[in-house]
Structure 1
């Protein structure tokens, strides 16, 4: 399993941003086998972690034409800066009640 960690300094996040985030999230799950997606914003910092079965799914998601348009808007107005890390999960365990 793999995870993509997206860390950003937010810019102007308007109604178009909120709509696009929802569409991109749906696309990731429906077309690219995303397993889970968690995003939090605190002040001007945002972090999103998504989980994937394969690195190929991540690469295909990254190069999707709709996602490319969203990435361009992100660079132009929604984010002041961001970093993306792709990591392989070597071990995972949980505590559930």
Structure 2
């Protein structure tokens, strides 16, 4: 069953260049992890953002949480880049889409 990791956060506005580099690196790294399915992100002009990553299983999502370089990014996020954040992990029970 697909597992989603939903990360919502409000940025501090500090070191946006460093944040951008780290966000790009985490995207690249996540895509190489076993069990990775997809990732989508959006951020508004006030610095509130949401990133949703999809994984093949809870074990794969947990492995991403514990990845060493990701742990370092999490630490920097708490110290520098985020006023607050929330992580929610959910199992997908149904999914559908439309494409023109």
Give yes or no for TM over 0.5. yes
The number of aligned residues is 97
Alignment map for 1:20-35 (pairs within 5 Å): 20-35=22-37
- For residues 57 and 77 of structure 2, what CA distance do their matches in structure 1 show? 25
Question: Aligned to 2:97, what secondary structure does the other structure show?
Answer: coil
Which stretch shows the higher mean deviation, 34-43 or 62-71?
A: 34-43
Alignment match, 2:11: 10
Alignment match, 2:51: 48
Q: Which runs of 5+ in 2 are unaligned?
A: none
Structure 1 stretches of 4+ with a deviation exceeding 4 A read none
- For residues 38 and 22 of structure 1, what CA distance do their matches in structure 2 show? 12
Quickly say closer, same or farther: Cα 1:18–1:37, change in 2 above 3 A: same
TM-score relative to the length of structure 2: 0.90
How large is the Cα RMSD of the aligned pairs? 1.1
